[in-house]
Structure 1
């Protein structure tokens, strides 16, 4: 669904084959997609998954991106995490929310917070994601598409 929405390619075997990492890819990005088998109240970005896609993307000279949703597998409930340096976010308002905390396993954000607080011109900037020395940003999938398409 995400690959089709963005116009990207699906990686054969979803990264299970040697020399074919990630789940989806574009010319510049390598993405890992995570969902749940049932609807949940949280959006989770795990550091172990981020480290995996980050290393795989670096090996291919691509920008890593981690997609996560709340189990509904709907575009409007899907969020993206990527290095802040990978996109031009001058048109986005950046939110440094002190209520969003990282722990050693990653970051969990209440889906209600994401839907109630953010809209398509916001990015959450996380400076203390585990084992990462650079800021990452979290944006909605439609926002990310808008950035790629030059609409934002």
Structure 2
């Protein structure tokens, strides 16, 4: 009869040991790319689970297993923007289509990387003077209003900010 408690402890211990641990950035970066850019977003630096469900078996119904829609996550910390509008002359925060990538909804992450970037403002794309956009952040979406030349191809979605 003493064998049953021993077997139970072994099975229970194996069950706990075999479950993957989730929650730290180190767990995620075993498979996913690390935040390599110099400017890192606070929640992304602290760990991925602030925004993402780390359990690959759970379908949240949102891209990248996000816990909420992107803007809802952003406004959890940046809540003043919801009342005041975006600092760039009250720019809208959401829309049905991203002007650069129409398959995506327009949201905070259309312009800003939620992870890290080469830019202090965590811009997703490179708007520097050595690009077709010549330092104009607005030109990526509002090219026709600002230029009389054909619009350059859109930059890759995750080229500058990751």
| Structure possessing the higher radius of gyration over alpha carbons | 2
- What TM-score, normalized to structure 2? 0.26
Query: Counting strand residues as a fraction of each chain, which structure ranks higher?
Result: 1
Query: Counting helix residues as a fraction of each chain, which structure ranks higher?
Result: 2
